Amino acid sequence: MTEDYHSLLARREAMRLRDRLLAPAPRAGATTSPSGRATGSAAGQAGAWDGAADQELIVRNLDLVTPFGEVITLLYEAMFERHPYLRKLFPDSMEFQRTHLEHAFRYTIENLHRSEQLAAFFTRLGRDHRKLGVRPVHYQVFEDALTEALRRYAGERWRDDVEQAWLRMLRFVVAAMVNGADGALAEPASWGCTVTRHERRRPDLAVLRVRTFEPYPYRPGQYATLQSPLLPHAWRPYSLARASAPDGELEFHIRRTGPGGLSDALVTRTGVGDSLRLGPVKGTMTLDEDPTREVLIVAGGTGWAPARALLEELAVRRRPGTGAYVFVGARTADDLYDAPALARLENRCPWLRVVPVTEGPGGSEDGSVVEAVARYGDWTDCTAYVSGPPAMVIAAVYRLTVAGVPADRIHHDPVVGAVAPSPPPLGWHTPDGFPA
Ligand SMILES: NC(=O)C1=CN([C@@H]2O[C@H](COP(=O)(O)OP(=O)(O)OC[C@H]3O[C@@H](n4cnc5c(N)ncnc54)[C@H](O)[C@@H]3O)[C@@H](O)[C@H]2O)C=CC1
């Protein structure tokens, strides 16, 4: 009975929120809605919304609300003070959430003038957030808490026009997320799965196979977030390491990067028969529809996982006459944890050149995998795929860009928590991706 009452309330709140998001509001300027269409109903301030103008206003007044970390502290304080029950939806340590939200603020502000890109990103995020049990009513709670935090932090210097710009930005994002959640109603919010294999290849590294209860569609090169009952609120991204799963088994390569996190739990405290959950698939690091160019893959550590899936797919879809190079970086020769699979691929694929690079002796090349790629030759005509530790991804992308590979031919997953070289490539602050 109580549950019925609460779900009725939640539905009513959702309807109210939707009405508000879609209600016409007078404002002149650009007219892109979160669906990417130029319409008369932009998010939040439907009608017309000038993202570039709001970006200018927000950026000009950024000193009122930075460092964001302090605003975010106030935001969560306000939220949990008013709605204590929400606290249990978050992990004990809020560190990851806070960093994530800070990246989201930065990414959104940096891209306000590119509303279609922004809408596409938050539509995907809305689809993904279904796994967290986020309901439309929570967005209203978030808006109230953000408003309170901004006002409290800026104090007397706060201005109404700046607040309105922040709210229009937030409502645009929320409308995109609600669209994304609605559009994904036909698929599960998350997929249950069971661990079928757990191989400890290194003291800090495991290769896991899992079988989902329902089919899990994905493309080679993509990644998924995993969650374990050992750490109920921690969803972390891992790349899928097989091109396809004819036996229904997905593979993940997991390195324990520190104590207490999900990777630690998956490597050291998880075994065959354990249950995990998978979020919706993500990522755009996939092969072109018609891969006509040479392919360069730069993979470091467990970044080998998506590289392997891409190569397996390339073996099937490659156009005759084109080749591929894969540079696999590892700290030591023993850290080349999937060497037999590498050797098999190399033997089976005469068009593939494999270059292992270790920091110490043991690979074909010694030293930095990025330097090895740069030394090797001219990559300007290839399509590049880069995966691995964020600092390595950034260094490789930077090197390739400087060497003349067009940015739209360098594919990588979003990276979080590393410092970009100066000047940073566009769109560097991504709120959702592979953490350092
Ligand atoms: N799709 C992706 O991009 C994936 C990213 N990862 C990320 O990879 C990381 C785990 O990797 P580990 O196996 O611990 O890697 P690791 O620390 O063993 O390093 C692997 C390779 O990267 C190179 N490297 C590291 N930092 C570098 C830098 N600043 N410049 C140039 N080269 C550098 C190392 O020399 C080594 O060759 C995690 O951060 C994880 O999130 C993991 C899987 C997929």
Residues 6 or more apart whose Cβ sits within 8 Å of residue 156 = none
pLDDT the model gives residue 291: 84
pLDDT the model gives residue 435: 55
pLDDT the model gives residue 426: 38
What b/e sequence results for 168-191 when a residue is b if at least 16 CB atoms lie within 10 Å of its CB, and e otherwise?
Answer: bbbbbbbbbbbbbbeebeeebbbb
In terms of CATH architecture, what is 295-435? 3-Layer(aba) Sandwich (3.40)
Closest ligand 1 atom number to CA of residue 396: 31
Closest ligand 1 atom number to CA of residue 367: 35
C-alpha closest to that of 170 among 352, 34, 7, 348: 34
CATH number of 2-183: 1.10.490.10
**Probe target for ligand 1 pocket from 255, 394, 419, with the most ligand atoms within 8 Å of CB:** 255
> Where do you find CATH 3.40.50.80 in the chain?
295-435
Q: Is 225 in the pocket of ligand 1 (CB under 6 A)?
A: no
Nearest C-alpha to atom 3 of ligand 1 is from which residue?
387
H or E element at residue 309: helix 304-317
Q: What is 93-120 written as a DSSP string?
A: --HHHHHHHHHHHHHHHHTTT-HHHHHH
pLDDT the model gives residue 414: 85
Residues 6 or more apart whose Cβ sits within 8 Å of residue 350 = none
For the chain, 436 residues long, the average pLDDT of each consecutive 10-residue run is 44 51 40 42 55 96 96 97 92 90 94 94 94 90 97 97 97 96 94 98 98 96 97 94 93 93 96 98 91 94 98 93 95 94 94 93 79 93 96 95 94 72 43 56
Closest ligand 1 atom number to CA of residue 223: 1
pLDDT the model gives residue 274: 98
Closest ligand 1 atom number to CA of residue 253: 43
pLDDT the model gives residue 91: 86
Give CA torsion, residues 209, 210, 215, 218, to 10 deg: -50
Q: Is 331 in the pocket of ligand 1 (CB under 6 A)?
A: yes
Q: What is the pLDDT of residues 210-268, one digit of tens each?
A: 999 999 999 999 999 999 999 988 999 999 999 998 899 999 999 998 888 999 999 99
Nearest C-alpha to atom 38 of ligand 1 is from which residue?
389
How does DSSP classify residue 204?
Answer: T
CATH match for 191-278 among 3.40.640.10, 2.40.30.10, 3.20.20.70, 1.10.10.10: 2.40.30.10
Bridge partners (DSSP) of residue 327 are 298, 355
> Where do you find CATH 2.40.30.10 in the chain?
191-278
Q: Is 79 in the pocket of ligand 1 (CB under 6 A)?
A: no
Residues 6 or more apart whose Cβ sits within 8 Å of residue 221 = 239, 283, 285, 286, 287, 306, 309, 310, 313, 385, 411
pLDDT the model gives residue 257: 87
| CA 161–ligand 1 middle distance (angstroms) | 44
C-alpha closest to that of 258 among 280, 236, 279: 236
By CB neighbour count within 10 A (0-12 exposed, 13-18 middle, 19+ buried), where does 319 fall?
Answer: exposed
Q: Is 306 in the pocket of ligand 1 (CB under 6 A)?
A: yes
> Where do you find CATH 1.10.490.10 in the chain?
2-183
| CA 331–ligand 1 middle distance (angstroms) | 9
pTM: 0.83
